[in-house]
Amino acid sequence: MAGFYRLVSFAFWILGLLTTVVLLVGRIVRPLRGMLEDHLEFRSLLWLAGVFFLVGGAKLIGRHDMIELFRSIGVGQWLRYVTGSLEVLGAVLLLVPRLSGLGALLLVGVMLGAVPTHLFVVGGSPLQAIILLIVTGVVAWGRRKRTMNILAGLR
């Protein structure tokens, strides 16, 4: 089962990375506006949501490697539940077009905590967390007007 999880996870990473690169190149070159760009943007959001569903779900169901990771952080297992819940919630929000910017902003906050944790507490490579931080940051920035309208409506 662990081999299957790694294979699916690897496939999500490759697909998402390629889609994101194509999307960014498309935004820079700008010849393929409209339908193609919307399709690639949707695929990027779908990939991003899938990654956070997998990782957040692994934390929530108590996979052994996640339990050990949060044990090494030393704060307690409550942080695993909070982080996993935020990741799953952010993934759900990414799939709702009106709330995708808010979901990306939530996930940026989670990744802003994950990068220094990997660098200074856990050790190992923070590369995956940095990639997710960049991609969620791009989505949050691209959806900032919608997010500001939602937040302004809450006042």
How many CB atoms are located within 10 Å of the residue 153 CB?
7
Over residues 88-142, the pLDDT tens digits come to 999 999 988 889 999 999 999 999 999 999 898 888 788 989 999 999 998 898 8
pTM score, two decimals? 0.75
* pLDDT of 36: 47
Residue-range domain boundaries for the chain = 2-153
* pLDDT of 151: 85
Over residues 15-74, the pLDDT tens digits come to 666 666 666 655 555 554 554 455 567 778 888 999 999 999 999 999 998 999 899 888
Give the CA-trace dihedral at 137, 143, 149, 155, to 10 degrees. -20
